Structure 1
Amino acid sequence: MPSNVYRIRNGNKDGLTQIHITKLMDAGLQSRLERIGTDGRYFVVPMDHGVTLGPVKGLKDIESTVDAITRGGADAVLTQKGVAPRVHPNKNTKGFIVHLNGSTVIGPDEDDKRLTSSVEEAIRVGADAVSFHINVGSNYEPTQMTQLGEVTEKAHRFGIPVLAMAYARGPDIAGDDPEAIGHAVRLAEELGADVVKTGYSGDADSFRHVVESTRLPVVIAGGSKGTNRQTAEMVRGTMDAGAAGVSMGRSIFQHDDPEAISRAVSAIIHDDRSAEEALELAELAPDE
């Protein structure tokens, strides 16, 4: 019996059928997916970097940044559990995702992501979805793989979607290798994730292999902040490859105008604008 199907007994007879319970669970999961995306496309801004990098630009006053990016068009923001009280009053009714593991750049190994929360705790702090990071090909893959499987099983009991951050990372892996990235996103699907985030292979042609490697919606990470043109062209290439959107952090929350860059990215994802049109719409200079 699937993990998200429960048989409820009433005396000697089933009070509810498996299929009815399944539909209830699926309805909850689908409604929450709609809270973190729009019409099957996703513009998520992860802001959990306070654990990884510390209180960097854009995160000290996280309230103002959350307000700006959600006004600009982001569908959802993603943080660790502890800053939920700073997120909710400022997210302008947009979605909220709680990240469940993490590490720091000053620790012994940044790839060694450790559990920082649970599905139940994410629900308690008002999450619409949870996310979990796995480094496929790293020394920590076995533990993280087991934990991702457990997270998806538990989250789906409650109808909570799981965003898997599945990266191809390891001593013998090139992070932009589409074959390795394709393996990472397929692993996320095999373990029960609902949306998968991964690294960009560098161009639309090579990234099509990644998108075709799974039936899940694929979104890309943004990496460190580049120019407005670089950000817009990366997003446009991602969408041209058939991806479902982006989950970009530093490129958005460290921008001098987070609302404007959010407006540009949203225009590409949700309105199918070109990179040039999106930057013009947001009144952003391409090379800044």
Structure 2
Amino acid sequence: MTPGIDARLRRIGTDGRYVMVPMDHGLTLGAVTGLKDIESTIDAVTRGGADSVLTQKGIAHRVHGNKNGAGYIVHLNGSTVIGPDSNDKRATGSVEAALRAGADAVSFHINVGSTYEREQIEKLGQLTDEAAEYGIPVLAMTYARGPDTEEDDPEALGHAVRLGEELGADLIKTGYSGDAESFESVCESTARPVLIAGGSPDGDRESLRAVRGAMDAGAAGVSMGRTIFQHDDPERMARAVSLVVHEGHGADEALERAELAD
């Protein structure tokens, strides 16, 4: 890695661990709960301990000034749930556009196993080359997602994260396999830091247990969106996740210390 990439990774994480809150869902889902007043949500999650937030480039002016010194990631592809196929992620910006928006890093989503895999692989390969020229880190969101792919299958997830490294990503986000034992093989599939997505667990305690399991398996943190920004108390939920990722607490202790009732 170059000094620029190393420096910017430190802006979006803490000591090699990461609590990211992606909020690019306005493109995918519209102005859902937590995103209408995105300024207040960004302020809350970063006060709670999020290391960085992530949006599409057009929201940048609503991010800066509300992120309390946290890092900023610009996402560079997307799709909508009302379109013909939400797996068909199309480019929405460039590294230069992200830098103009004040980004510390960029991210890109690939659905490994989908019918759009080939085009997305090509685009990610081009993006990592472009980003390297500017010394800006790339977060690859590599999901196991397609007609013949189980999204929590450890073998498919392991392939997905390795694909991210093979294409030059600096950080890799993927789904959680459901338990620490199986997710360990996913983390061992790459030398890059692995982050888990939030998924749809049943309640705060189960969300935090998934984070604890991923960390025990060797993950470097989370990139967790709606579980945090749509929470009744985003600040406290961000704090609870941060307590697990950065301070090594278990789910129960993190809930207690964050003053969350599950």
1:202 to 178, 187, 199: 178
Please list every run of 5 or more consecutive structure 1 residues that lacks an aligned counterpart in the other structure.
1-24
Aligned position for 2:121: 145
Please show how residues 19-98 of structure 1 align to structure 2 within 5 Å.
26-98=2-74
Q: CA deviation at 1:224?
A: 3.5
Paired residue type of 1:266: S
1:273 to 239, 249, 253: 249
> Is 1:115–2:91 an aligned residue pair?
yes
Measured against aligned partners, the alpha-carbon deviations of 1:217-251 in whole angstroms (never above 9, x if no partner) come to: 00000024641111111111110111000000000
Please list every run of 5 or more consecutive structure 2 residues that lacks an aligned counterpart in the other structure.
none
Partner secondary structure for residue 50 of structure 1? helix
Q: Distance in 1 between matches of 2:242 and 2:103?
A: 22
TM-score by length of 1: 0.90
Partner secondary structure for residue 90 of structure 1? coil
Paired residue type of 1:67: D
The answer on whether the counterparts of 1:225 and 1:250 sit within 8 Å (CA) in structure 2 is no
Paired residue type of 1:188: G
Q: State the 4+ residue runs in structure 1 displaced beyond 4 angstroms.
A: none
The answer on whether the counterparts of 1:222 and 1:246 sit within 8 Å (CA) in structure 2 is yes
Q: Distance in 2 between matches of 1:133 and 1:280?
A: 34
Partner secondary structure for residue 231 of structure 2? coil
Aligned position for 1:9: none
> Is 1:238–2:214 an aligned residue pair?
yes
Paired residue type of 2:10: E
Identity across matched positions, percent = 70
Aligned position for 1:250: 226
The answer on whether the counterparts of 1:225 and 1:254 sit within 8 Å (CA) in structure 2 is no
Count matched residues.
262
Paired residue type of 1:45: V
The answer on whether the counterparts of 1:36 and 1:128 sit within 8 Å (CA) in structure 2 is yes
Q: Distance in 1 between matches of 2:184 and 2:199?
A: 19
Measured against aligned partners, the alpha-carbon deviations of 1:97-118 in whole angstroms (never above 9, x if no partner) come to: 0000000000000000000011
Partner secondary structure for residue 110 of structure 2? strand
Aligned position for 1:22: none
- Superposed CA RMSD: 0.8
Partner secondary structure for residue 107 of structure 1? coil
Partner secondary structure for residue 65 of structure 2? helix
> Is 1:159–2:159 an aligned residue pair?
no
Q: Distance in 2 between matches of 1:149 and 1:139?
A: 17
1:187 to 163, 166, 176: 163
Q: Distance in 1 between matches of 2:199 and 2:186?
A: 18
Aligned position for 1:219: 195
Aligned position for 1:132: 108
Partner secondary structure for residue 72 of structure 2? strand
TM-score by length of 2: 0.99
Larger Rg: 1
The answer on whether the counterparts of 2:19 and 2:221 sit within 8 Å (CA) in structure 1 is yes
